[in-house]
Structure 1
């Protein structure tokens, strides 16, 4: 079995891997922003809810989160009359990864926002700028630049964590490689997993390049 054939089999799992990465990141970002907003509020109940959620999620391994989403969520929702038996394994994979990464992204957003000098809000008020304008045009762009390195690391971590969906029986990059290794009785195992590692590495380089473009774009806008 030559390298091209091995790569061809491995790359059959690329669509599922990218699907999991993109959708999980989108939903985790939305939930993470909401959690950061709750955590930054002066309301003790809102902050308490955010802290409990963040502590629970950050204390749960991603693999266990996927298993809980796949096996526990249907049982939980059936108890309140909601049937999700029609969900696909990909949907459960996105749900589990989104829950797991929302907590990490929330902390990245919260810490970045708190890193912006609060005196800028008072300065903007002193010249008559509305708070909403100050928030969106001054504070958020700065917080975004501060958060980008952490977000980049979290996206790379999420990309690698997509390999955990093998526990749900999903055929992503990792599961395709593992299945091929089993089919060949492990004869080409080392070569298969070296090529898999190189595939992950190339995609990580692409992600790093995309974030570099984003940082440069933000820098150009601010200049």
Structure 2
């Protein structure tokens, strides 16, 4: 049991936790950037229906969307060094943050690949065919017709993924990574004021998540500023469909 609740500790702990915010944000930023690269590469075989690679990407996506991130962290942290030993690569002395970022990147990549695929497929195929009919090639049709609409559709999906990734980083302390949650464990153990520690931590996460949400909302509004009400309504319908396809695991299925 902790000590009697004291509101002053909530205020005192916030700056101490914020001193580790850069580590949390570094994990989020690194995993999202790498996840975008992984997600794009994984989405391509399914978008272009490449037989063997399509099946590999389906297995990858199903695994990382269908297992808890905590289990993935342990598998990467304990399993990756053993696998790399087979090719004479020793990563046993690598910083724990390396394994954390690898795990979160692979996890994010699975969801981002589904977001990319859902956003591209949500664009009306008739518009692409119309672009071909006026002489555009595949690259022009994609960059001028598909990509702008897919970006607008994917913003809410991407926002959800980034915020979820931010909150999931709280599990990195289980491997000994000293980010904000890890620091909160140390503060709680040292002072026995656990409730105050977690209130401070939750306030920080809430403020960051709300700020990110507003930033993404602003970006979405900027992208959609030229839409008519009818087009906006249609786009929101496609966004809802794309979001559902992204967040609901589909084991053994795929387009």
**Quick check: 1:12–1:172 contact (8 Å CA) kept in 2?**
no
TM, length-normalised to structure 1: 0.93
Determine whether 1:167 maps to 2:177.
no
Deviations 1:63-109 (A, max 9, x none): 11111111110110111122223421111111011111211111111
1:191 paired residue number: 196
In 2, the alpha carbon distance for the partners of 1:49 and 1:201 equals 37
Determine whether 1:218 maps to 2:223.
yes
**Quick check: 2:11–2:200 contact (8 Å CA) kept in 1?**
no
In 2, the alpha carbon distance for the partners of 1:75 and 1:221 equals 53
Aligned counterpart for 1:206 among listed residues 202, 206, 211: 211
Pairs aligned (count): 221
1:51 paired residue number: 58
Aligned counterpart for 1:148 among listed residues 130, 155, 158: 155
- CA-based RMSD: 1.6
In 2, the alpha carbon distance for the partners of 1:221 and 1:177 equals 46
**Quick check: 1:13–1:175 contact (8 Å CA) kept in 2?**
no
TM, length-normalised to structure 2: 0.82
Q: Which runs of 5+ in 2 are unaligned?
A: 1-7, 229-255
2:145 paired residue number: 138
Deviation at 1:201, TM superposition (A): 0.2
1:13 paired residue number: 20
